[in-house]
Amino acid sequence: MATLTKTRIIDAAIAVVDEHGFDGLTMRALAEQLGVTATALYYHYAGREELLAGLVEHQTATLVQAAPAEGAWDERARTLITTMVSELDRQPELAVWIITTQARQPPVLQLHEALLAILIDGGFSPRDAIEAKGILFRYVIGHLVLANAPEGQPWRQLPEHYPLLRATGPAHDTIDRVQLFERGLDTILTGLRPEVPRAGGSPNQWVPDRGVVLGPAPRSWHDG
Amino acid sequence: MATLTKTRIIDAAIAVVDEHGFDGLTMRALAEQLGVTATALYYHYAGREELLAGLVEHQTATLVQAAPAEGAWDERARTLITTMVSELDRQPELAVWIITTQARQPPVLQLHEALLAILIDGGFSPRDAIEAKGILFRYVIGHLVLANAPEGQPWRQLPEHYPLLRATGPAHDTIDRVQLFERGLDTILTGLRPEVPRAGGSPNQWVPDRGVVLGPAPRSWHDG
DNA sequence: ACCTGAACACCGTTCAAGT
DNA sequence: ACCTGAACACCGTTCAAGT
């Protein structure tokens, strides 16, 4: 029996999530998967929170690199966001956990930084870029949360108290969520034009020196 | 000591949430607040889920009535949404619970129905109305979830690995979230114009007969 | 250094028993 | 009809003890 390592623990955690879902990922279940006592995990991770953070880091490592480095700002933003959403959509429970508890942790901060870079390259002023980023993130987060919501009854079978939902039920039940998401994303991007649109490339006056934005993040903000 | 009723239980639940937060609302804590055993609650509510649903019903009862019955569709939508958000923002933890677990339950369905009515009155086709509703809800939900996210470190104190977030930190930390939300809402509403805009009032061909949309909802969809 | 075993302080929930 | 008490099957976490 090989000795316990962080890598082995995270791999086992992924296996447990695949088998029993995100809620089934308890310290005891994870320990059983590893053939070990639950308390043994505390030697490698300070607690459940830290373990999940490690899992998130592993699952989102390649997310930011999806952002193309060149092109029109709205195309770059669209690519970053749709890639990110399609990746996170595969683990919606994990995505919701990230969103609700890790909003200011490195994996998420990397996405903020990447989107901000795109907006600023596109000619947005700092305030407008922050605002645009906030609006886009709100939309993305809402989508991810809804993707994780329990299916519930079909809209067309609702009680008569909801006549419009009922009448539009068939259309409601068959709508393509990906298409809906992208239509909304387009709507927002179109409405968020910078005052002075610029082609990518030339630097902005107020933009600080920055290194490679896409490099590996520090494990937590304390390291920085 | 008065006998236990659903009303008394819900009132006590509100008191517990005020004192110990949403996470502190356990069956045992609620029982203690009522001077009763935890198991006594199961005589009145089938379980925790049902009890929380009762709490939600109580807290959101007046939400839908904020929608003005007349005026331009976008003004009506804006009023419905901003009122709803400002109400739910006062109990963000509860709001997130509603969103993530009660997405198809009556209190939320009422909001869907109300927004759908506004869009259809505004001239949206069924498909477009559903799509617009989906986009708007995604944005609103994202905002509510972010409002509940842990504050975390100030943006301006982030490590150097996030140069743009750091540089824009002061602006980031002082931004008015309500204003940001409303700017985004305007952006979306502006982008979501119906193909054939109409003044409120005249009926749409395909709109089914419907009674008073704003009446009290059935307690659960099973009742309908 | 790395892991076990027992224990603590919690959860939601069930169910027989009391009044 | 309405509530209690004991118990079940879980949680995350701590800590002394083993090797």
Structure confidence by residue, pLDDT tens digits, A97-123: 999 999 999 999 999 999 999 999 999
Encode pLDDT of A54-95 as tens digits: 999 999 888 888 788 899 999 999 999 999 999 999 999 999
Determine how many CB atoms are found less than 10 A away from the CB of residue B49: 11
Question: Contact B159/A218, CB-based, under 8 Å?
Answer: yes
Encode pLDDT of A17-56 as tens digits: 999 999 999 999 999 999 999 999 999 999 999 999 999 9
- Cβ under 8 Å to B: A residues 73-92: none
Q: Which residue, among A144, A137, A145, has the nearest Cα to A188 in the 3D structure?
A: A137
Instruction: Calculate mean pLDDT across residues A210-217.
Output: 45
Residue A2 pLDDT? 73
Encode pLDDT of B28-76 as tens digits: 999 999 999 999 999 999 999 999 999 999 998 888 887 888 999 999 9
Label residue A213 by pLDDT band (50, 70, 90).
very low
Residue B29 CA to residue B32 CA, distance in Å, equals 5
Please tell me the pTM assigned to this model: 0.91
Residue A208 pLDDT? 53
With 80 as the cut, is the pLDDT of residue A224 above it? no
Q: Which residue, among B130, B172, B136, B171, has the nearest Cα to B151 in the 3D structure?
A: B172
CB-based contact, B173 to chain A, within 8 Å: no
Residue A190 pLDDT? 97
Interface mutation target, options A164, A176, A188, chain B, most CBs of B under 10 Å? A164
Residue A206 pLDDT? 54
Residue A32 CA to residue A16 CA, distance in Å, equals 10
Nucleotide nearest the Cα atom of B20 (by C1'): C10
In sign, the C-alpha dihedral spanning B217, B15, A102, B184 is positive
With 90 as the cut, is the pLDDT of residue A220 above it? no
Distances (CA, A) of A188 to A26, A137, A184: 39, 11, 6
With 50 as the cut, is the pLDDT of residue B224 above it? no
With 80 as the cut, is the pLDDT of residue B223 above it? no
Calculate the average pLDDT of chain B: 89
Encode pLDDT of B133-149 as tens digits: 999 999 999 999 999 99
With 80 as the cut, is the pLDDT of residue A204 above it? no
Tokens of A25: 């990922």
Task: Please give, rounded to a whole number of angstroms, the shortest distance from the CA of B42 to a CA of chain A.
Answer: 24
What domains lie within chain B, and their CATH numbers?
1-45 (1.10.10.60), 61-191 (1.10.357.10)
Residue A43 pLDDT? 98
Q: Whole-number Å distance, CA B68 to C1' C14? A: 48
* Among candidates B146, B168, B191 on the partner chain, residue whose Cβ is nearest the Cβ of A190: B191
Residue B159 CA to residue A217 CA, distance in Å, equals 10
Mind spelling out the 3-state secondary structure of A99-128? Answer: HHHCCCCHHHHHHHHHHHHHHHHCCCCHHH
Tokens of A202: 């030339």
Interface mutation target, options A187, A193, A219, A222, chain B, most CBs of B under 10 Å? A187
Question: Contact B145/A142, CB-based, under 8 Å?
Answer: yes
